[in-house]
Amino acid sequence: MRPNLQHNRQAWSVLIVSTWAFTVCFMVWMMFAVIGIPIKKTLGLNATEFGLLTAMPVLSGSLVRVPLGIWTDRYGGRIVFALIMAATVIPIWMLAYATQYWQYLTIGLFIGLAGGSFSVGTPYVARWFPKERQGLAMGIFGAGNSGAAVNKFVAPALVVGFGWTMVPHVYAAVMLGTVILFWVFSRHDASHVVQGQTRFMDQLRALRDPGVLKYSQYYSIVFGGYVALSLWMVQYYVGEYKLSLPVAALLAAAFSLPGGVLRAVGGWLSDKYGAHSVTWWVLWVSWVALFVLSYPQTEFTVLTTSGPSTFHLGLNVYTFTALMFILGIAFAFGKASVFKYIADDYPANIGTVSGIVGLAGGMGGFLLPILFGALLDLTGIRSSAFMLMYGVVSVSLAWMFFTEVRRTDVFKPPASHDDARASGGGLALAQPAHAARD
């Protein structure tokens, strides 16, 4: 009884300190969402250049996710997590002294290493908990995405009070303190390390698994879309509704905060009803919300018997924020449900597969802000960003329908994970290709 109690205490200590560390990492990763606006004004950047600036940390944070996931399987999450956080402290501090566009882009790549922490923390946390609680544990850890909202509360206050260069200095100090805190309260369990020295390319064979590719597509919208909109929304509010930076950041947090905090609820729902059922409803809610958000501000004139009459159609700031709040909740649930899929189907390779899926989500977060900017420069329509995301969600819905929905009942919660797999319903529908062949 005593060893079990000690293990539980260690598990919760690991979960709490890892969630805090991931929150700080995500706050740093999203830094350009706020400080990018004064930088854009100083350098005279267009929308595409601004999109590239905000996306550079996302690029490096995405590309390192696969090797970091593999190293976590091989060496353990504690050492890998601590090292990547420590590696970002100096680049964060140096950002305050950049003066040219290429310098911001280069430093942004190094800062982006903080974003790779997700593919480390997910398997690190999951292996401390039994399978029936892994969805909740990963959901709590994933709530560190709320660092995007924390950034929107902290950074504007620092910008207004001290200038944007104070933000990197404060964030570097916070990151250094987090490294120390994490090392003190985290633990290492040798039994969680994958035995054997599997070759890098052997582990990457998971890329040929149709299940991994499908989960990557789902994650590219629920996580990639979350990251992209977290980076884009502050300047969207400033441009579309002519709000000040602090007010725009506060309203943008209405999307970022539930999109991070409620991930734990999504994990609990995925444990109870199955990853498929939650993901299916997430995609439908997102599809409807993005359809409405896609409609641009429109004025049209109708010739009536008494002369021309002009009408205006478009979302006011309150309706827009309410829809973004709903979308944030949907994305939070979806991020948790996708990783519940992974924990169920690839228990021996959580690090590797979560790294690959995380890479896909991160690349979505990298490409989407650039495409948002390019579409805005091309069309002049700000809501074109939501039109693009509406198309991505449509692809995910079609893929899920033809590969999963026609083969199961999405409304029936599985009695248990084993029963679900045996019956072909609920969680069983996401069987990896190799499992189906076996």
pLDDT tens figures, 283-342? 999 999 999 999 988 888 899 888 888 888 889 999 999 999 999 999 989 988 888 888
Q: Which residues pair with 311 in a beta bridge?
A: 300
Q: Name the pLDDT band for 122 (thresholds 50, 70, 90).
A: confident
The model's pLDDT over 47-97, given as tens digits with 9 standing for 90+, comes to 999 999 999 998 998 888 878 877 887 888 899 999 999 999 999 999 999
Assess if residue 193 is contained within a domain.
no
Task: Say which residues have a Cβ less than 8 Å from residue 134's Cβ, sequence separation at least 6.
Answer: 126, 271, 340, 343
Amino acid 342: pLDDT: 82
Handedness of CA 206, 212, 217, 221 (dihedral sign): negative
Amino acid 236: pLDDT: 93
Assess if residue 192 is contained within a domain.
no
Token representation of residue 174: 């916070």
Assess if residue 418 is contained within a domain.
yes
The model's pLDDT over 378-437, given as tens digits with 9 standing for 90+, comes to 999 999 999 999 999 998 888 888 877 765 554 455 444 444 333 333 333 334 433 433
Amino acid 202: pLDDT: 56
Assess if residue 343 is contained within a domain.
yes
Task: Say which residues have a Cβ less than 8 Å from residue 425's Cβ, sequence separation at least 6.
Answer: 274, 408, 409, 412, 414
Q: Which residues pair with 289 in a beta bridge?
A: none
The yes-or-no verdict on residue 211 having pLDDT over 90 is no
Residue 217: closest CA among 283, 167, 173: 283
The yes-or-no verdict on residue 276 having pLDDT over 70 is yes
Question: Which of 262-271, 279-288, 346-355 has the largest mean confidence?
Answer: 279-288
Supply the range of the domain harboring residue 6.
2-187+199-437
Amino acid 355: pLDDT: 72
Instruction: Please tell me the total count of domains within the chain.
Output: 1
| Mean pLDDT of all residues belonging to the chain | 84
The yes-or-no verdict on residue 196 having pLDDT over 60 is no
CATH value at residue 90: 1.20.1250.20
pTM for the whole thing? 0.76
